[in-house]
Amino acid sequence: MTRDEIVIAIKDIIATIAPDEEVGSLAMDVRLRDQIELDSMDFLDIVMELRKRYGVQVPEEDYMQLATLQGCVDYLGPKLESKSLVLTALKG
């Protein structure tokens, strides 16, 4: 996956767990929780989806790295570069 694809991958996961939110216009550097309604259970859903879709394990001490989209790209980049993009919510 390229960095752009990683952004799409994260947005697709968010669109899956928060289907009422508009993910297209999410800013890269603003905390996700300040842009859309996401609580701690949703955050655990994001971690679960990363595990299911890409086999990526995010240890609890690294959760803060996923606070913004840019943080997600930086943190997940090396873990996802060999993986293929999986789309569910944003398909088509």
Tokens of 66: 């996923």
State yes or no: residue 84 binds another protein (CB under 8 A): no
**Binding window for another protein (CB under 8 A); candidates: 25-33, 50-58, 68-76, 79-87:** 50-58
State yes or no: residue 20 binds another protein (CB under 8 A): yes
State yes or no: residue 17 binds another protein (CB under 8 A): yes
For residues 77 and 33, what is the distance between their CA atoms, to the nearest angstrom?
A: 21
Q: Are 77 and 37 within 8 A, CB to CB?
A: no
Q: Which of 18, 70, 21, 77 is nearest to 46 (CA)?
A: 18
CB of 48 to another protein, least distance (A): 7
Concatenating the DSSP letter of every residue in 15-41 gives: HHHSTTS--TT--SSS-HHHHS---HH
**Binding window for another protein (CB under 8 A); candidates: 14-22, 26-34, 63-71, 75-83:** 14-22
Interface with another protein (CB under 8 A) = 17-20, 37, 41, 44-45, 48, 51-52, 57
